[in-house]
Structure 1
Amino acid sequence: MPSFNPVKQNRVSDEVMDQLKNAVLTGKYTAGDKLPSERELTEMFQVSRVVIREALRSLEIRGFVSIRQGPKGGAYVRQLSFDGVCQSFFDLFLSGRVSVTELIQARQLVQPEVARLSAINLEEASANLLRSALVAETAEHKNHGDRVRARMSTDQAMAKMCGNNLYRAIMETLIHLTQVIILEVKPEKLIFHDQAEHEAIIDAILAQDGPRAAAEMSRHLNTVGEGLMQLEAKFRKTKGLIKF
């Protein structure tokens, strides 16, 4: 079990949080591990239980742990993900600080490069992932939510297979925001482009033709941009949100 240093600062909960976070980041605790109990942590850090609870709560907000209740309760280390980034970006959108126009501009900068890298880094497993995503996009789905998520299967696949975790974080954030808007507005026209556009992108990636994949993606984004901007206006009106 890792050893911790006694805390002697005014904001002691921050120091406790930093030491626990460092223990996770350095692999002393890994995903699924249970941290020591509150009682054990109070003894290890030589602070009050209130301080420990504040520190654990801060870790939970940052996505490092999940706090469970009940007989098997406690603070369990989570697998770090991009969920917090997605939620923060969506909150900025709700507050009117970010618009769909900017979302499209960001996608136009990032997504062609994601497509190019997906082609360059193509492996058998990622090729199969992409083919499965295309099948999911064209399949019949009974409810609106499944249809929306399926329509973005190839975008999500490319985010995973491009080999750049920062691009993946950006893409998953943009995909999440797009999905939330469409799920809320429920437009009659769910897709704003011909399916052949996605097929052209995928054909280029499977051929490992990076420049062609990037060019096809750029053309595709020019098509979908206008439809998404129209959805934003309806979304903000429906939710009574700040207009950008």
Structure 2
Amino acid sequence: MNFIIVIKTEINTIEGKRMLTKFKSVEQIKASNNIYGQLSTAIFDGRYIAGQKLPSESELIRCFNVSRTTIREAIKGLEASRLVDIKRGATGGAFVRPVTFERVESACNELFSAGKFSFFELQYALLLIGQMIARIAAHNCTSKDVENLRIIASMKHISCQVLTEQIAGLTNNRFLTGLFQSLVQVATANVKEERHSYTISMQFNTKGLELIEAIAQRDENMAEMAMSQMLRSYFDDR
């Protein structure tokens, strides 16, 4: 009888262990991470606007009931995320930075460095968005816009960033412009140095001029094709 009880007990123990394996261990969240999360949320919610100073270290210590070290870790996290600027001195502190697309660029760079997406995937996204932007730019282009594009065309060397920013601006869509520019910056930062050779620069200049001309003529189809060729001439064969 006792033997049967022992067997049943062991079976129950084994079953209990099997059930426990279905759970995941609980990670203890650092207090500084929690505070970072609350402060960043307050910034994004607009409770602290650009240029405004966050509460002092002493005030945050009393508010969160934590050590000075914990508060400083949280503030350093905000600075690393480009949410605040740290100023020293009697009137210093943590000041909220303006919300810009630099954060998108920074996040994309980090994701690319971590291998979350490939250069091919980045290039493909650039081509899709770039072609759409070129069509809209050709449709919206005014006489004044043509003059500005002609000025760029007269330059000896055309900058990829300057040209794409100017053209993206013709969409009158700030989100589309910011997103495209962020992707261009990430791609440019990760292009091999040899892609900036004289031959490549001349080829890019030629394609850039063709794009400018297509937009100036308000030819949407030609603008789309020229944008694709220009981006490929700069970013292909990485």
Q: TM-score, normalised by structure 1?
A: 0.68
Deviation at 1:102, TM superposition (A): 3.0
Count of residues in Structure 1 that have an aligned counterpart in Structure 2: 207
Return the alpha-carbon distance in structure 2 between the equivalents of residues 129 and 19 of structure 1: 44
Return the alpha-carbon distance in structure 2 between the equivalents of residues 134 and 54 of structure 1: 50
Query: CA 1:96/1:48 → structure 2, altered by over 3 Å: closer, same or farther?
Result: closer
Residue equivalent to 2:220? 213
Deviation at 1:223, TM superposition (A): 5.1
Deviation at 1:65, TM superposition (A): 0.8
Return the alpha-carbon distance in structure 2 between the equivalents of residues 151 and 97 of structure 1: 25
Deviation by residue 1:167-205 (Cα, 9 ceiling, x = unmatched): 33431122213433568333112142424312234315x
Residue equivalent to 2:203? 192
Return the alpha-carbon distance in structure 2 between the equivalents of residues 227 and 22 of structure 1: 39
Residue equivalent to 2:154? 138
- Counting aligned pairs with the same residue, the percent is 26
Deviation at 1:40, TM superposition (A): 1.8
Return the alpha-carbon distance in structure 2 between the equivalents of residues 15 and 117 of structure 1: 43
Instruction: Please report the RMSD computed on the Cα atoms of aligned residues, expressed in angstroms.
Output: 3.2
Deviation by residue 1:70-119 (Cα, 9 ceiling, x = unmatched): 44431110012222332343345556665443333212211121223345
> What are the ranges of 5 or more consecutive residues in structure 2 without an aligned counterpart?
1-27
Residue equivalent to 1:153? 162
AA partner of residue 75 (structure 1): A
Query: CA 1:31/1:13 → structure 2, altered by over 3 Å: closer, same or farther?
Result: same
Query: CA 1:116/1:56 → structure 2, altered by over 3 Å: closer, same or farther?
Result: same
Residue equivalent to 1:172? 181
Q: TM-score, normalised by structure 2?
A: 0.69
AA partner of residue 152 (structure 2): A
Deviation by residue 1:119-142 (Cα, 9 ceiling, x = unmatched): 5566x7xx75674355235324xx
Query: CA 1:32/1:158 → structure 2, altered by over 3 Å: closer, same or farther?
Result: same
> What are the ranges of 5 or more consecutive residues in structure 1 without an aligned counterpart?
1-8, 141-146, 233-244
Query: CA 1:161/1:46 → structure 2, altered by over 3 Å: closer, same or farther?
Result: farther
Residue equivalent to 2:5? none
* Higher CA-based Rg: 2
Given that 1:41 and 1:52 are in contact with CA atoms closer than 8 Å, whether structure 2 keeps it comes out as yes
